[in-house]
Amino acid sequence: MTVYECDPEAQFNDGNLPDDVCDHIRNQITLCSSTIIGVWSVGGDDIMEYPEEAGYPVGGDFSVNYYMVEIHYDNPHMVLNHPDTTGIRFYLGNDLREHDIGYLTFGTDANAQALAIPSGVDQFVIDSYCPASASSSLPKSGITVFCALPHTHLQETGQSVWTKLIRNKVAVKYLFNSEAYNFNYQFHNRLPKSIQLYPV
């Protein structure tokens, strides 16, 4: 389950919001499909707590008016009329926290144009690199990374996943290293010590 922030330019009819299978409404939700503000995956913790000094801004003079929830279902036997109690709850505070939270995503898009695993192979390694130029939009003061959420699509396909921080062409440390990744146990890994990332 992923919660997205819609671009401030997004306009909808509040009495008739898009509500269907994503592929059927793709053109209507384009402005709501890139900025992630929350993720829950299979096996994840029931609650995701932010650090005391940071939070996600909503309301007031914040420019975002719409959010979108995307839910992936696993129904291989195509059971009809199965009741769904899926939901997400946000707890709002009265006091603005010192820092804003956001998601920084790395990896490969999960679509046929970005990723195609050949049939019949026993092992297929995917390396994705984030070039130094990708950091150009980070503030000069840097950002603080306090947790990581390793994620792959399709049960049993992703066997291991990791992200390394490389500085001056030298691998400094792992943001996370999940050599024995389990699709059924996806959770936010709170880092023992926060990591600072800066623009190059």
Per domain, the residue ranges of the chain are 1-103, 108-200
As a whole-number percent, the residues of the chain with pLDDT over 70 amount to 94
Cα end-to-end span (Å), the chain: 33
Q: Which residue has the higher pLDDT, 72 or 142?
A: 142
Give the pLDDT band of residue 114 (cuts 50, 70, 90).
Answer: low
Helix, strand or coil, per DSSP, at residue 79: coil
pLDDT of the residue at 117: 75
pLDDT digits (tens, 9 = 90+) for 145-198: 988 888 776 656 778 888 888 888 888 888 888 888 887 888 788 888 888 888
- Flag the least confident range among 87-91, 107-111, 163-167: 107-111
Give the pLDDT band of residue 10 (cuts 50, 70, 90).
Answer: very high
Are 88 and 1 in contact by the 8 Å Cβ rule? The answer is yes
- Residue 161 belongs to what H/E stretch? strand 161-167
What's the sign of the alpha-carbon dihedral 64, 151, 197, 52? Answer: positive
